[in-house]
Chain A
Amino acid sequence: MNSDLTRSSAAELAHALGSGELSSVEIVQAHLDRIAAVDADVHSYLHVDGEGALAAARQVDERRAAGEDLHVLAGVPIAVKDVLATKGLPTTCGSKILEGWVPPYDATVVAKLRAAGMPILGKTNMDEFAMGSSTEHSAYGPTHNPWDLTRIPGGSGGGSAAVVAAYEAPLAIGTDTGGSIRQPASVTGTVGVKPTYGGVSRYGLVALASSLDQAGPCTRTVLDAALLHSVIGGHDPLDSTSIDAPVPAVVEAARRADVKGLRVGVIKELGGEGYQAGVRARFDESVALLQEAGAEVVEVSCPSFDYALAAYYLILPSEASSNLAKFDGMRYGARVLPPGIDDPSAEQVMAATRDAGFGDEVKRRIILGTYALSSGYYDAYYGQAQKVRRLIADDFATAFEKVDVLVSPTAPTTAFKLGDKLDDPMSMYLQDVATIPANLAGVPGMSLPSGLADEDGLPTGIQILAPATRDDRLYGVGAALERMLLDRWGAPLLTKAPELSAKGA
């Protein structure tokens, strides 16, 4: 057990709680102290609920003292991306338009965390309505990468990746529509999992693109991700698209960590042109390690993946343009009156509210989606994109006839500098080129650290993809690779990150 308990994994904390070595109050307080010390620099939280987290911790400690049978993660605190509804806690989705909104209900994921006795430390920063790959599109200012504060932490869930990387929480919940869990994990040297679509309830997840969104774990270890996955996964009658089947045996798979005889497919279309040399080098080494451990590695072609980004940028904006229509200043959140109009109509108030409340990236995508769904254009854009989506699913199906999992680099580059891609949406969108196919097909994906790029010393990530509902395979492969890499590095990758100065302390 690490002397600074914020450096401990969730599994270690859970063990210490179980043995009585630590109380939940101590753990929560240590993390609140850490947040106070470093978050002014990292800016990964939009809202910290110290009082609520301590109250929940006290309650868990009392229940434990009373001899109650508790969930394995009971008492382990967690941070939640600000896109999930939390009863009594502000939920802004990184947008001005939801400033001041306090949901009257909990998302199912949040309800499950509470039911497991996990204190919620706060809500994490994100690109506005999860649109972006850098967290720079947050209306409340960007989050900084703990590895280099001048760089982006990825996005949209940069806050959830950064809290974990900066030891401001042992665990966090992210959401992934095109890579928003996996790409931030890749550029912050952490683990991120997008479960099978329907594996985790979307009820209470403020929708970006309903057919693509999926909540999942952001952690520092594969086992921690598995433990969290089994808390939040499972069928929810409140979500029609939720899968009515037990959660895959992810914890067992992570503990087994076995790849012997496993067929691993390297996706030919992901990893060539446009991928940074250091990213590619670390990826190749990881694949070699898997081979050494007894996995059978083959190259697999998924030709339709070349069209994934184009299809994604029609489907996502289309759904988003409709999902975001409800933010109109009529019922909740910000309301802006149009200047210079004495007696404005409802429509004028809606327009003024949306104009002032949404940022440029959100407006860009609403306009794209509105156009793509318009009569006369629907077939050419939305309709075609749906066909590409089918082809991508077919590519996965064909590939998974030959191999058990697929692998690729998670993101084409390491963390870029804040501001570098802000004026170039297309180059920002390309950050998700390798992660998007999984969302379009609904299959599960994991990103775990593969090392540091030689050219800039920043973290790189490897992505593992499995067939729908076979999330357990991600954990088996991920845990095996993690163990081999750890042996090679001698210590977790994050120990190589520079210490953050404790300004507030």
Chain B
Amino acid sequence: MATAVTEEVVDYDEVLERYDPVMGLEVHVELNTATKMFCGCATEFGAEPNSQVCPVCLGLPGALPVVNDKAVESAIRIGLALNCEIATWCRFARKNYFYPDMPKNFQTSQYDEPIAFNGHLDVELEDGTTYRVEIERAHMEEDTGKSLHVGGSTGRIHGAEYSLVDYNRAGIPLIEIVTRPLTGAGGRAPEVAKAYVGALRELLRALGVSDVKMEQGSLRCDANVSLRPKVGDATSEEQAAVPLGTRTETKNVNSLRSVERAVRYEITRQAAILDKGGKITQETRHWHEDTGVTTSGREKSDAEDYRYFPEPDLVPVAPTRETVDALRRTLPEPPGERRRRLQADWGYSDLEMRDVMNAGAVELISETVAAGATPAGARKWWTGELARRANAEGRSVEDFGVTPTHIAELDGLVRDGRLNDSMARQVLEGVLAGEGTPTEVADARGLELVQDDGALEAAVDKVIEANADVAQKVRDGKVQAAGALIGQVMKEMRGQADAGKAREIILAKLTG
């Protein structure tokens, strides 16, 4: 069994006194086209292994690729949204290397003629400042199959008894978005990395070109990190003149939080090596979500030779000016602008808006408000209870089966006074358990606030009588002591009362 060696790290703040971190981020986006990049096979996630395959995506002898026009459209739209130039003529290229999950032992990709290049994305950081991420290129390619290594303890090929390959993913359209080296971020490098991937995810979601589910692999991030000696301020000219250090490429970074953590870890790990006078090995590293460290994968040097050459089985892609202009007109409002507009519409504070963004809930809240909820109510549910659960279970809020319509309905039930907060939470439980809509759950579980003031007053009287000492404290002016009485009343009412009203009655009776 391969034991992960715990490597030495240096305290992060100490690192920044001596080193300037530089990053390069490569993001792979699986497009949500109905069919694959070069054949007509379906792209549904989670289907029976090897059920969405054909001679083309299995790379059977003689089969030939045909470009999916929809994928090219998506690629161009992504390029435009990233402020890129769009190639007027470009070709696919073969990237040659042997691996069992790659049916042809070459990946059809693009090399020196990407469909989109020279762009940028402005990313907002937590303190409200903006960092401009320069985009080098966005190119089209096909995904590989997926290997499952069975036996052994690591789930990696090393030590496995045997491996299974699922080619359903082989040929799914991918767009690889590559940044230029991100410099000048200094100690905020990990935050910039996370913010960039988050902003990119938001943009891609707004474009509607991908499911962008990091946990399902439809958005994958590889983080290149290097350190160079610090000679001045991160954004200074002197610092910019220092040559880049040797980089490592960390793969398998599949959540926003991991992007931040992985970059931060690599910075501290590399610093420890450099501090001892060691050299950074240019290599691929794997990120381990559980232990929060990266471990060495295969060595990868610039000498690795993919023997790229233009793909002779495909004709060049040459979008006309008219096509590009027409696609430009389909671009959505830029997420940054839209966010500012929505924040104003919804009346959220900066902090509240940031919570919403971190929870990836902008779209959900937008739909929930459209379905009739108050902005405050929508935010409370999506970034509160549901986000908590999603975090705890390591899932995405969209996967719970709760829809914006459900939340709007739930919010309505609370506003109408039919449910109190704790009852509403119970109703949500029921909805999550698949018992139906909020109204159906409330009906089925008999959850409804008692509107009968007589019953409430009777309960208050009973509680005051049984807790004479507490009641006396309230009479003596210790109003906060009423809380204990309210609790007793709610208990007496089996929760089905409006706590606010109970407090009102108690205070009226004791201090009136």
Interface residues in chain A, defined as those with a beta carbon under 8 Å from any beta carbon in chain B = 84-85, 91, 93, 98, 101, 103-105, 107, 202-207, 209-211, 237-241, 318-319, 321-322, 325-328, 330-332, 345-347, 350, 370, 373-375, 378, 382
Contacts and interface: CB of A to CB of B under 8 A. Distances in A.
Interface stretch (B275-283, B311-319, B376-384): B311-319
Contacts of A345: 157
A326 B104 contact: yes
21 contacts: A85-B60, A93-B61, A98-B61, A105-B63, A209-B312, A210-B313, A237-B66, A239-B64, A240-B66, A240-B313, A240-B314, A319-B309, A325-B96, A326-B104, A331-B59, A346-B100, A373-B96, A373-B307, A374-B307, A375-B305, A378-B307
A93 B66 CA distance: 24
Interface string B80-115: 000000000000001010101001111000000000
Contacts of A98: 61
A215 to B, nearest CB: 11
A203 B61 contact: no
Contacts of A241: 312-315
A374 B98 CA distance: 15
Contact of A238 (B58, B66, B100): B66
Interface string B394-429: 000000000000000000000000000000000000
Chain A residues touching B, majority SS: loop
Nearest to B58: A331
A133 B454 CA distance: 104
Contacts of A203: 62-64
A228 to B, nearest CB: 20
Interface in B53-75: 55, 58-67
Contacts of B305: 374-375
A284 to B, nearest CB: 38
A326 B309 CA distance: 16
Contacts of A101: 61
B65 to A, nearest CB: 7
Contact of A210 (B60, B98, B105, B312): B312
B314 A326 contact: no
A346 B158 CA distance: 11
B307 A370 contact: yes
B51 interface: no
B62 A206 contact: yes
Contacts of A326: 59, 61, 103-105
Contacts of B309: 318-319, 322, 373, 378, 382
Contacts of A382: 309
Contacts of A211: 312
Interface of B: 55, 58-67, 94, 96, 98, 100, 103-106, 157, 163, 165, 303, 305, 307-309, 312-315
Contact of A207 (B62, B98, B307): B62
B61 A85 contact: yes
Interface centre among A107, A325, A350 (most CB of B within 10 A): A325
B105 A103 contact: no
A205 B96 contact: no
Contacts of A210: 312-313
Nearest to B165: A330
A304 B66 CA distance: 33
Contact of B64 (A240, A321, A370): A240
Nearest to B161: A343
Contacts of B163: 346
Contact of A325 (B60, B63, B64, B104): B104
Contacts of A103: 55, 60-62
Given A239-B66, A241-B315, A326-B61, 16 more contacts: A84-B62, A85-B62, A103-B60, A103-B62, A107-B62, A203-B63, A204-B63, A206-B62, A240-B64, A240-B65, A241-B312, A319-B309, A322-B106, A326-B104, A328-B100, A330-B165
A105 B60 contact: yes
Contacts of A204: 62-63
A239 B98 CA distance: 25
Nearest to A93: B61
Ranked 10 nearest A-B pairs via Cβ: A325-B105, A210-B312, A373-B307, A211-B312, A204-B62, A206-B61, A85-B62, A206-B62, A375-B305, A326-B104
